Amino acid sequence: MRALAGVSLAVEEGEFFGLLGPNGAGKTTLINVVAGLVRADAGSVRVMGADVVRDYRSARRRLGVVPQELVFDPFFTVRETLRIQSGYYGIRGNDAWIDEVMQHLDLTAKADVNMRALSGGMKRRVLVAQALVHKPPVIVLDEPTAGVDVELRQGLWQFITRLNRDGHTIVLTTHYLEEAELHCSRIAMLKAGRIVALDSTRNLLARFGGSRTTARVVARDGRQFTLELAGYGDLEPQLARLRAQGVEIADLELDRPDLEQVFLALTS
Ligand SMILES: Nc1ncnc2c1ncn2[C@@H]1O[C@H](COP(=O)(O)OP(=O)(O)OP(=O)(O)O)[C@@H](O)[C@H]1O
Ligand SMILES: [Mg+2]
């Protein structure tokens, strides 16, 4: 069995790109090939022009990868871990940046705590920090929000979108499709090692999400109505029609096409 077959894609500089697919689709394998951790038996990958096999060191320097698996040396503190990681890139005196990264990831209070004493979510924050010590222009995040609480998730997205605004290219895998829908401008969907869709998030939603938006209305007397809307402009006239029939609207919920529908249409 091939973990990846015929995968060909180009992520633009400065893009916020999503790599989605069910468990076992090949997302992590693809990231490992990009990171030079797994050697593909055919094909090539370049990171900002640097071939990940022939020019491994340049490619690696341009890339920060947040791995899916939590692997650490349990004997070092958070700060030591980040200093050692900086050392791998030959960076000394990196403390100002390390402090900034720790602050954004709400890790400052844990700076001198040993890795083995951190909770799973805290360890994941350190993984993110580790990927960023050398300020890589390309940042790849393999399920960065798995097992992470709401507060960090929000902080993490704020930080990542800021990095993207500052010009960093972001490649993200996640099973939280609403995160991908919110942040990624373009998405590749993988299924069994192949790309089954590669398009802008907007086009994917328009093509596979179904064009219908539904409004569910609950009336004060408990009656429920479902309105099929051709577009948002259709909402007001339809509500007006209900009111004209004497319906008093107590609650209203809009159901619009989302990435989950696209995902299911393409991968199931
Ligand atoms: N070291 C390995 N040796 C053999 N097969 C592997 C290895 N690592 C992954 N695979 C297989 O390659 C395929 C793709 O796995 P991969 O981890 O890339 O999927 P994924 O899309 O990241 O899934 P998930 O969403 O669960 O993280 C799977 O069939 C998996 O079993
Ligand atoms: Mg994976």
The model's pTM is 0.86
What is the mean pLDDT of the segment spanning 2-22? 93
Q: How far is residue 117's CA from residue 139's CA, in Å, rounded to a whole number?
A: 27
Sign of the torsion angle spanned by Cα atoms 40, 44, 48, 54: positive
Q: How far is residue 216's CA from residue 224's CA, in Å, rounded to a whole number?
A: 7
- In our burial notation (b when 16+ CB lie closer than 10 A, e otherwise), range 19-52 reads bbbeeebbbbbbbbbbbbeeebeeeebbbeebeb
| Protein residues with CB under 6 Å of any ligand 1 atom | 3, 21, 23-29, 68
174 and 61 within one domain: yes
168 and 185 within one domain: yes
99 and 66 within one domain: yes
Query: pLDDT for 240-250, tens place per residue?
Result: 999 999 999 99
Query: pLDDT for 67-124, tens place per residue?
Result: 998 888 889 999 999 999 999 999 999 999 999 999 989 999 999 999 999 998 899 9
pLDDT on residue 131: 96
Best residue among 20, 27, 29, 37 to mutate for probing ligand 1, ranked by most atoms within 8 Å of CB: 29
Q: How far is the CA of 237 from the centre of ligand 2 (A)?
A: 46
**Which residue owns the Cα nearest ligand 1 atom 31?**
24
Q: What are phi and psi of 166, to 5 degrees?
A: -75, 0
Helix (H) / strand (E) containing 255: strand 249-255
96 and 228 within one domain: no
224 and 114 within one domain: no
183 and 122 within one domain: yes
156 and 181 within one domain: yes
167, 191, 206 — which closes off a domain?
A: 206
**Which residue owns the Cα nearest ligand 1 atom 5?**
3
Q: Is residue 1 part of a domain?
A: no
What is the mean pLDDT of the segment spanning 159-175? 95
107 and 24 within one domain: yes
118 and 100 within one domain: yes
pLDDT on residue 16: 98
Domain count for the chain, please give it. 2
Q: Report yes or no: 78 and 115 within 8 Å, Cβ to Cβ.
A: yes
200 and 73 within one domain: yes
Best residue among 2, 4, 27 to mutate for probing ligand 1, ranked by most atoms within 8 Å of CB: 27
**Which residue owns the Cα nearest ligand 1 atom 26?**
23
pLDDT at 137 > cutoff 70: yes
CATH code, 93: 3.40.50.300
148 and 105 within one domain: yes
Q: Which residue would you say has higher pLDDT here, 69 or 168?
A: 168
Q: Domain limits at 255?
A: 210-267
pLDDT on residue 163: 95
What whole-number percentage of the chain has pLDDT above 70?
99
116 and 88 within one domain: yes
